[in-house]
Structures are given as C-alpha cells and as structure tokens.
Amino acid sequence: MLRLTLLCLLASYLLVAPPARSAANEPDYLAELIHQATAAQLAAQRHWQLLLHYRPNRAGGYTSEMDDPQFFLAPNGKTDPQAELAATLRYFFSTALVGSSGQTAQCAFIARYHWLKATLSIDDLRLPPQRCARFQRWVAELNPASITLIFTSAYMNNPASLFGHTLLRIDRQGQTEQTRLLAYTIGYAARVTSSNGLDYVVSGISGGFRGYFSIEPYYSLVKEYGDFENRDIWEYRLNLTKSQIGRMLMHLWELRNSYFDYYFFKENCAYQLLSLLEAANPELHLTDQFTGWTVPADTVRLLTSQPGLIAEITPRPAPSTQLRRQLTALSGQEQRAMNRLIHTPEWAQSAAFANLAAERQALILELASDYLRYRGIRETRDSNPHRDQIHGLLVARSHLNAASPPIPTPPYATQPELGHESSRAGVGIGRHQGEWFTELSVRAGYHDLLDPDAGYTPAAQIEVVGVSVRYYPERQRLSLDRLTVLDIVSLSPVDSLFFVPSWKVRAGLETVNLEECRYCLAFNLNGGIGLAAQTHWLDGELYFIFPELDITVSHAFGEPQRSGAGVTAGALVTLNDRWKILVSSTYLHYPWGDTSQELRAFFGLSHALAQNLVLRFELYHRDQNTQAALTLHAFF
C-alpha cells in the first residue's frame, strides 16, 4: 500500500512539475547574456582581447593578430570584439562543430567558455556545459605541474636561429631531473613551403609563411638543438599557479590548429609564447613591449625583470660544450694521449698511458668515449659506427679503480638576461683625412665582435640595419657614412676534436674616398669561409683567416663595379670581462670591372663601462685614407 502511494505521488509530480530547464527551453537566456556582457563591456576587457589577440589600431578600433578565419565565429570577428563575443555566446548554445579542430564551440574555444562562464555566472541549467573528452584526455596526457621557459643560444648556420630560440616546457607531476626529458614542449614556428633561398627570406620577413603552435617531446628538441646544432640551453622555471597553467593550456588548445602569419622579426616564436603567458596571467604586460621587432633574448630579459616570475634557472650545456670544456682541462700530453686512444683504444694498455695518474687516465678514457659517442650521433643520427672503439675504451675504464676529477662545464653562451640590450645608439668624435667630424650611429640589432660577450654567443657577430651619419664642421657637410643591411661573422675555433669552418657575409653601403670622388657611397657585398684557432695566454685569443670574395658597385669608379677576391687575417683578444681588442688586415685584388687592388687595416679597442654602456676607439686605414674615432655606445 505504501509503495502504491509513493508511485501515485511521483506520477502527480511529473504531471504538474515544469520540464527540466535547457538551452532550448530558455530562448531569452542568450539575449540576457549578451545584454549582460554588453553592459559590463566585456569585449573591451583585457582578458577577452588577449584570448582573441586583438591589438588597437592607430586610427581606432581593433584588429586581431590571428589570421585563420576559422578562429572567429562572427564574420567580422577579426576586427569587432563585441560581435565576436556575441557570436561566441550564441554558439555556446549549439552543438554545431566549429573551428579548425571540428568541435562544439564550448570545447573548441574552451578558454573563452570558462572565462565567460565565470565572468557572467552562467547558469548550468539554462546553458548546460558540454563534456570535452578530447581536451580532458589531452590535459591528462600532459599531466602538468609547472611551466619552464627554454632558451636556446644562437645557431649561426641557420638564418631562422641566428638570434636564438625560445619554447615552453610542460613539466609533469612527479618529474625528476632524470625524467624531465620525457616532458612535452610548446613551440611556435613557421611552416616553410618554399625551398628557394630568396623566397624563404622574403616570405619570412613579410609574413608569407603560416605560423603554428606545436607540442613535441623535450628529448627530441634537446637532441636537435644540443646534439646536432651544438646550442647551449638555459631553462627558466616559471612561478605560475595551477589555475594560470590551466588557463594557458586551455588557450593553447584553442590555438593548436589555427595559424598566424609568421613574421621573422616581429610575430615570431618569442612573441607568440609571450602571448600564451599573458593568457595565463593577464596582469603580465609582455607583448606590448615589442612594437618593431622581437628578439628572443630580449623576451627572456623582460621575463626575468617581472617580480617573482622566475623560480630557478638551470643551464644545459650542449655535448660539444661539455667536450670542449673538458678538453681544455687536459694538458698537451693528455690531449695527444686522448687523440691516440680515439683511433687506437688498445693504446690504453701501453706503458706510456700507464705512467699517467689513475684519475687522469679515467678522465681521458671517459672523454675519448664521450667524443666517439657524440661523433657517431652526428655522423649517422642512428646507429653508432664507433661501437667497437667505444667498447674498448669502456673496458679499459672499468679496469681503473679511480674517479675522474670533476670538470665544470658551464655553457659558452651565458644567461641572455645578463647581456646588453639588442639595439644600440652611439655618439662620437673623430678625424678623417685631416678633418674633424662628429658621428651619430644607430643599430637595430644585435651584437658585434667588440661588444661585451655576456649573454651572447662568443666570437659571433650579427649586425642588422645599422646607420652612421657624420658631420664635418669645417666644410659644414652632413653625410651618410655607412648603412649596414646585414653583417654576420662566425668564428669557430678548431681544435683536436672539432673542425668547424668560420664564415662571414656582409651587405650594405659604405663610403669610398677617391681623388675623383671624395665621400662617395658604394654598395658592397662581401663574404668568405675561413678558419679560426684559439689560445688562452690571456683571457682568450682567437686568430682567424678568411679567403673572401668582394663586389663593390659605385659611380665613383671608372667602371660601374669592381669585383675580386682577397684575404683577411686578424685576432680577437679578450683581455677580461670589460676589455676587448680586434685587429685585422685585408688585401683585395679586383681583376674584373674597375681593376685595382686595396689594402685595409683595422684596430679596435672597447671598454664596457656598464652592462649597456661601452666606450670604443677605432682606427681604420684604407689605401691612402686613415680615420680614427672615439665613440660612446649605449644599448637600449
């Protein structure tokens, strides 16, 4: 009887109770949410504009940096934040598949959904949340606990990596020093669609390629950057809360299949990673610090300046760096012994090798086997052709009951935030052919051989867009002295283990002084491949020689151009952290066009007064012309 009574009461309730509320039964709820969002001006709030990558236009209004039309739900969403917000709310009520990933709006744009849900206090009964199983599985696989910024030093043999590279690592729950290679990284790069060198440069500068975010295992990138490209790595663990990491990953999920137009100098890897960190913590103002260009080292410098953002900094020197550092710890006799062991492991049984101290034998054997392992990876990227030699060395090492002495192996490229800023301006005075002049110079980037090495790859020069203007008061003449488009020098010292050629290339305008045409401008293109060697009598001396080709075009010549070849030899001497000297001498012979020959000599001395302030003296001789200048350079 009781059971029958309960059933009757339940039936009566079902007949008179209202149906369960849903989006379909609340047609006015969308209008209510849009009105609420409009009244609160949510489309103008920073968080919404960060999620849609809106930037204010100079003439008013906004334009998103996102270029994939499928990222927007409103036809004019790229330029209208309010229309995009209203369309986003509308699609939240739908089960239609949207975006490049083919999901419902709540799942395809999950960061937008969670922010609007929290900001508008969306009622789950009136707008039921949808289950985003793909996203949940993805986050579970990543298993995030913290985020680490990775900075890789410059790779001089790849134009896209001349200024270094940044990415983010997703550190897993319970990760240890031994397992961090298994973590995933977040990167942003151009999807290159052309193998033509000129098209590669033009498209990379002008936004002709599409840029995508990607997720890859950290170990594959360490192998590529460290093992194959010899790039030192610095790791910066970030102080992000659990909710901030969640917001960043939700926004990354929205961006995974969408593209931006890739601009090498501006919207590059470093810039887009900053936008992810802003989505994680909108209180960070990072991307708006970069208006003309974005240099990866500058972004690291900016992040380290944010109070409390960096938890710890860890170096990861490249295998070649570790080998070079250990090699310098060996005496000349020990280096010769190691070279002999590399080719003949059996020599470890000789009396000559046995005369060395046991700990030195251990060090030499370990270094020889590490070098063969490293060389095998670079030669084949698969199986090691030196397995038998490595086995023989390890057997010999196992017979020694001694530990090798620890050798510090810091990266050659020090922490980028310790270096000078990437742009530079200078003011100086000098004398040229008996006339005094004052000089103003500006360089967009980045670093030259006489600049302080801290934070930069040693013995590497990358100058981009530099202008120097001189004023001669005696003749009241203002003239352009030089315009550098690009000037790159890579000095790679060769030693008993490594044989890497040095190279240089330069393009720009320079002043030539002839009897027929004083202070005339000429376009010059110069390049060469050579060798460098290093000693350590002082802090470090690097000697170099370059066979080179040279082409100069100017109306100052009898012919419109002259082209030829020659050689440059010189030395770069680092006296200490503040003093550097560069000397060089060049002979050029021009058999084609305006036939001639030329001798040049250069002496430069720089003194770092502070991290971003350098005083420099330069003496330059070219044919019958000699000039000297004292310049104060400030980096900014």
Supply the pLDDT for residue 381.
59
Q: Across the chain, which distance is largest between two alpha carbons, in Å?
A: 123
pLDDT recorded at residue 152 = 94
Rounded Cα distance between 456 and 448, Å, is 10
CB count within 10 Å of CB 3 equals: 7
Q: What is the DSSP letter of 455?
A: T
Same domain, 367 and 284: no
Same domain assignment for residues 348 and 311: no
Torsion 408-411-415-420 (CA) sign: positive
Give the pLDDT confidence score for residue 228 in this predicted structure.
81
In a domain, 407, yes or no: no
Q: Which domain holds residue 378?
A: 331-398
Q: Two tokens at 289?
A: 């610090």
- At 361-397, the pLDDT tens digits run 999 999 999 999 988 877 765 567 888 899 999 999 9
Of the residues 274, 290, 316, which one is the last residue of a structural domain? 316
Same domain, 80 and 49: yes
Domain boundary among 96, 131, 166: 131
Query: pLDDT tens digit string along 396-407?
Result: 999 999 999 999
| Residue 454 shares a structural domain with residue 589 | yes
The helix, strand and coil proportions of the chain, stated in percent and rounded to the nearest 5, come to 35, 35, 30
Question: What is the reported pLDDT for 25?
Answer: 46
Look at the chain and report how many structural domains it folds into. Answer: 4
Residues in the chain where the model's pLDDT stays below 70: 1-26, 380-383
- Cα separation, 54 vs 64, in Å, equals 4
Shared domain check, 202 and 100:
no
CATH number where 559 lies: 2.40.160.40
How far is 263 from 206, CA to CA, in rounded Å? 6
Assess whether 430 and 343 both reside in one domain: no
Confidence at residue 5, expressed as pLDDT on a 0 to 100 scale: 37
